[in-house]
């Protein structure tokens, strides 16, 4: 009969007193047998310290926090992600598909995920890749608002009061903030990418308000400053037709508009300005008058060519026969 397990103890020898110190097969005294320790046997402070070490062996994470995780496995229905917690998380595969339905991650990839719950009914940590991406976008939006940075978004659809715009998350562009001038056909902007500023953000309510007008006004102010520095009567400029009225056309010279009156469009008869120009046409004009105090600019187009009536006598002398 052996005194200890694992085959390390020698059987009792004949004549050896029961209860004598056990020895190894080499004849040396054996060490004390292992005795399992229960937390009831430990000092309460020591036990609490061990629990703290155990908890610290996992990352301290709070629900609602965006953390980095490593993809362990990709299945047909889910992606298994390890975030250094007590268990792995299962994220639905659709959160990792691109626009073509292809999976965008593989084992070993590091991804940002949102910790929704530390444990579900099955003991898994609950993670979300989509919500993490939206959280990151919200952080970027708030930063753009604080630092007055430009954001780029695509117009999704026309809604009451303006446009719905996708900037990574859904945002609102009021009709009054689309342009420096009223825009009549909002539907024509659907699908277009616009440069805008964030003028209001409320993360708790999920509200983001954008303004393209504010950005255009800032850009126009810079252009205007440059244009006014060189603006002078007699100077020839190239501008863009911005608006057409019955009495003329307003030409954008670069941050400042000038009026091209119908009588200065052509030496010939013009019934309506739309006969010669349309909105967004580029046109060469000459500055006829400029008042720095009111910043009013009068432009001419016909003055760029010689008045045909000025040379009519040279071309058709009285002695000539028709």
CATH number at 119 reads: 2.40.50.140
321 within domain boundaries: no
User: Residue 174 has what pLDDT?
Assistant: 96
Same domain, 127 and 157: no
The Cα angle at residue 277 between residues 273 and 283, in degrees rounded to 5? 120
Say if residue 156 is in the same domain as residue 125: no
Residue 258: inside a domain, yes or no?
yes
**pLDDT for 226 beyond 80:** yes
**Is 156 in the same domain as 122?**
no
**Counted domains in the chain:** 3
Domain end, chosen from 76, 102, 133, is at 133
Q: Answer whether 0.85 is exceeded by the pTM.
A: no
Q: What is the pLDDT of residue 7?
A: 42
pLDDT at 46 over 60: yes
Residue 108: inside a domain: yes
Q: Tell me the mean pLDDT in the region 55-77.
A: 78
Mean pLDDT (whole number) for 183-207: 93
* Residue 100 pLDDT > 60: yes
Q: Are strands 66-74 and 257-261 parallel, antiparallel or unpaired?
A: unpaired
Are the beta carbons of 164 and 209 closer than 8 angstroms? no
> Within a domain: residue 168?
yes
179 part of a folded domain: yes
Share of the chain above pLDDT 90, in %: 57
On whether both 241 and 278 belong to a single domain, the answer is: yes
Digit-coded pLDDT (tens) for 230-270: 899 999 999 999 999 999 999 999 989 999 999 999 999 99
Better-predicted residue by pLDDT, 286 or 32: 286
- Confidence tier at 26 by pLDDT (50, 70, 90): low
Q: Residue 182 — very low, low, confident or very high, per pLDDT cuts 50/70/90?
A: confident
Q: Do 152 and 178 have their domain in common?
A: yes
| pLDDT value, residue 159 | 95
Sign of the CA dihedral with 232 first, then 238, 239, and 245 last: positive
**Mean pLDDT confidence for 46-54:** 59
Same domain, 112 and 162: no
The answer to whether residues 120 and 155 belong to one domain is no
DSSP 65-97: -EEEEEEEEE-SSEEEEE-SSSS-EEEEGGGGB
Q: Give me the chain's average pLDDT, please.
A: 83
Considering the domain architecture, whether residues 245 and 295 belong to the same structural domain is answered as: yes
* Same domain for 153 and 128: no
pLDDT for 17 beyond 60: no
* Cα 274 off chain centre by: 41
Residue 202: which domain range? 148-215
Residue 142 falls inside a structural domain: no
Nearest CA to 67 among 54, 79, 80, 84?
Answer: 84
Q: Do 159 and 184 sit in the same domain of this protein? A: yes
Say if 143 falls within a structural domain. no
Name the pLDDT band for 99 (thresholds 50, 70, 90): confident
- What pLDDT shows up at residue 6? 45
Exposed, middle or buried: residue 130 (CB in 10 Å: 0-12, 13-18, 19+)?
Answer: middle
Residue 4 lies in a domain: no
pLDDT digits (tens, 9 = 90+) for 121-151: 777 788 999 889 888 899 999 999 999 999 9
210 and 239 both lie in a single domain:
no
Given a cut of 60, whether residue 54 has pLDDT beyond it is no
Rounded CA gap, 64 and 66, in Å?
7
- Structure confidence at residue 310 (pLDDT): 66
Q: pLDDT higher for 24 or 205?
A: 205
Domain termination site, one of 170, 185, 215: 215
DSSP state of 232: -
pLDDT at 307: 79
* pLDDT(10) > 60: no
């Amino acid at each position: 009969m052996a005194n200890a397990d694992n085959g390390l103890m020698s059987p009792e020898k004949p004549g050896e007193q029961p209860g004598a110190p056990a020895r190894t097969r080499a004849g040396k005294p054996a060490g004390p047998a292992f005795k399992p320790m229960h937390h009831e046997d430990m000092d309460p402070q020591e036990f609490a310290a061990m629990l703290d070490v155990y908890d610290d062996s996992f990352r301290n994470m709070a629900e609602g926090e965006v953390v980095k995780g490593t993809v362990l496995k990709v299945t047909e229905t889910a992606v298994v992600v390890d975030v250094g917690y007590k268990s792995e998380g299962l994220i639905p595969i659709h959160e990792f598909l691109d626009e073509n339905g292809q999976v965008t991650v593989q084992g070993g990839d590091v991804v940002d995920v949102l910790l929704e719950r530390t444990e579900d009914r099955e003991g898994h940590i609950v993670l979300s890749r989509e919500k993490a991406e939206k959280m990151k976008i919200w952080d970027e939006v708030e930063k753009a608002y604080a630092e007055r940075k430009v954001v780029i978004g695509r117009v999704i659809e026309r809604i009451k009061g303006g446009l719905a715009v996708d900037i990574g998350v859904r945002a609102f562009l009021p009709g009054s903030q689309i342009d420096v001038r009223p825009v009549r056909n909002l539907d024509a902007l659907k699908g277009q990418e616009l440069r805008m500023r964030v003028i209001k953000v409320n993360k708790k309510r999920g509200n983001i308000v954008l303004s393209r007008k504010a950005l255009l006004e800032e850009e126009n102010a810079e252009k205007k400053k440059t244009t006014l520095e060189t603006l002078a009567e007699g100077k020839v400029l190239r501008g863009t037709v911005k608006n057409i009225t019955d009495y003329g056309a307003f030409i954008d010279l670069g941050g400042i508009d000038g009026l091209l009156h119908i009588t200065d469009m052509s030496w010939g008869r013009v019934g309506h300005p739309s006969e010669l120009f349309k909105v967004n046409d580029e046109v060469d004009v000459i500055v006829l008058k400029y008042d720095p105090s009111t910043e009013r600019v009068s432009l001419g187009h016909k003055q760029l060519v010689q008045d045909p009536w000025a040379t009519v006598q040279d071309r058709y002398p009285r002695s000539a026969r028709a």
